[in-house]
Amino acid sequence: MDHGILFDHSRTARIGLPEAVFCEGKPVEAVVELLSRFGKGSGRPVLFTRLAPDIFNHAPEAIRAGYDYHPLSGTAFGDTLTRTTNGTVAVVSAGTADGSVAWEAARTLTYLGIEHKIFEDCGVAGLWRLADRLPEVNACNAVIVVAGLDAALLSVMGGLTAKPIFGVPTSVGYGVALGGKAALASMLASCSPGVAIMNIDNGYGAACAAARVVNGL
């Protein structure tokens, strides 16, 4: 069945980044159809994002076997882009609860062929955790900061590195956290100059922004 999904296959040639499939909200049948077309060995690398386990499990085993699927991040890919040696991206998260977003960023970087390192549980409630990892973070060429609640990690990180920083507020928290709006406002109001902020929970977007930096080296 043709669900009328048209890919922008020339996007890589234009901007150096391929189109991805955002699965959330798509009919299950449409997602399964797309999965059947872009598995390992297809020669057409496609990243699936926001792919929930129950949706992925609707696909036959023969299709699922052709994918590297990561349930926490909700990402899947068959083939990946050619690995680049231009640079490395650090993904720094405040807490374990931010894992789905941090790993969405990390998995997107894997798919894009960009080397990266992930540093979890670096929240400001225990600054020694960040201090211990700072030399490794600063050895990278760009930094993605993932944090919810008050998202103070972004401002702290912005004062500790000269590398390009992309902040991702997460929807982690309750009450006045307002589903990530407090974290977003905090990052946008950061006193650290020159930091760029993504939409709430947009790990994919942050990875693409960092990729533009690394690909331009």
Three state DSSP letters for 14-64: HHCCCCEEECCCCCHHHHHHHHCCCCCCCCCCCEEECCCHHHHCCCCHHHH
- What is the predicted pLDDT for the residue at 216? 78
- What is the predicted pLDDT for the residue at 31? 94
Q: Are residues 92 and 56 in the same domain?
A: no
Render pLDDT for 126-182 as a digit per residue (tens, 0 to 9). Answer: 888 999 999 999 999 999 999 999 999 999 999 999 999 999 999 999 999 999 999
Q: Are residues 104 and 202 in the same domain?
A: yes
Q: Are residues 187 and 167 in the same domain?
A: yes
Q: Give how many domains the chain has, as a whole number.
A: 2
Other beta carbons less than 10 A from residue 105's beta carbon: 31
Note down the domain range covering 73: 11-77
Sign of the four-CA dihedral 111, 117, 118, 124: negative
Predicted TM-score (pTM) of this structure: 0.91
- What is the predicted pLDDT for the residue at 127? 87
Segment 192-197 mean pLDDT: 95
In a domain, 1, yes or no: no
- What is the predicted pLDDT for the residue at 86? 82
- What is the predicted pLDDT for the residue at 211? 94
Looking at 77, 100, 121, which one is the last position of a domain?
A: 77
Please count the residues of the chain: 217
In 3D space, the residue among 77, 86, 148, 153 whose CA is nearest the CA of residue 116 turns out to be 86
CA distance 37 to 18: 16
Render pLDDT for 4-41 as a digit per residue (tens, 0 to 9). Answer: 566 666 677 677 777 889 999 999 999 999 999 988 98
**pLDDT surpassing 90 at residue 70:** yes
- What is the predicted pLDDT for the residue at 184? 97
Position 107: which residue type? Answer: R
Position 215: which residue type? Answer: N
